Each structure stands twice: as C-alpha cells, then as structure tokens.
Amino acid sequence: EFTGPLDHLDSGMVWQGRLYAAHSNYPFWPMTSSIEIWDTHSMAHVASHNFGILLGSMTWLDRHEGEWWGAFANYDKVQDGMGFPYGETRNTVVVRMDNNFQVLQNWTLPESLLARMTPMSNSGGSWGSDGLLYLTGHDYPEIYVMRLPDTGSEQEWVATVEVPGLNGQGIAWD
C-alpha cells in the first residue's frame, strides 16, 4: 500500500501494464517533481523517480519512439504568500528523456503560444500517430499542434485545434 505524500498528480499514461503519472508539489516552493508508477492490475504503487528541484513542475508524460517525453511547467501566477511568479511561464520546457528518466534534450515553446497559456502553463501533452506533438494549456478549449524544429531549441507551433467542452489540462488518445 502506498502511503507517501502526493501533492499534485497531473497527466498520466499506461504503458506495459503500468500507470505512469507526472507529479509535482504545485503550488509550493521550491518546485519539485517526480514520476509515480502504479501496477494497473493491483493499483499498487511500484516505483517513483524523483527529479527533485530541476526545471519546474512536471505536468505530463508520454512515450514516443522508444523514449519518454514530458513537460516541466512554470507559471506567471503569483501564489499565495509569494511575492514573485511561480517560475515564469516563459521557462516552461518540453523534455525528451531516456528509459531512466534522465533528461536528454529540452525545447522551449514559442512566445506567442506562451502568451495564450499565461498566467498558467502547458498542462497536457501527447504524441500523435502523425509524429506531431499535441499540447494543451490550462484554460482554453484548444489543443496546440507542435513540431520539433530542424534547428534551434524552440518548437514550431503548426496549428490550433478548437475542442468545445475542453477546459485545457490533460489529453489522451482513444
């Protein structure tokens, strides 16, 4: 039985009989994150990967081309008791990780997209079968279609898909 503290579970995904969930201590400071893992048959907590204080609050996790992907969100929102933004939205990054969850690369998001997400940040993400990355913010009924750049560190914003009834947050393929 799992008895550890869980502050803010965000997006999750199932792979090989296990549920992998992004976790952070949002809205507390300093920002810490982990990946929490459960067996899908027994729902027993089986593992945890701690990022500690790294790049922000982990909000989503997915598998693509044999590697892990996710985002570390940062926010322009000033949390209760703080006198400064919670990491600043512009510091949000999408990361590619190896099978041990070691960050191999990270990409920023276009300033114009970050302006849509502020004062919150990137909340959900999932790779499509078309090889494009689909991201959500926190509030709008929109999914942002992204492509990794051929050069540089900023993702390309390809399109926006309006989804009535969606309030941002996590997404998944069915």
**Are the beta carbons of 31 and 50 closer than 8 angstroms?**
no
pTM of the model: 0.93
Q: Which residue has the tokens 């492509």?
A: 147
The alpha carbons of the chain give a radius of gyration, in whole angstroms, of 15
The whole-angstrom separation of Cα 48 and Cα 132 is 28
pLDDT tens-place values along the chain, 174 residues long:
556 678 888 889 999 999 999 999 998 889 999 999 999 999 999 999 999 998 999 999 999 999 999 999 999 999 888 888 989 999 999 999 999 999 999 999 999 999 999 999 999 999 999 999 999 999 889 999 999 999 999 999 999 999 988 877 778 777
* Closest by Cα among 35, 39, 33, 30 to 12: 35
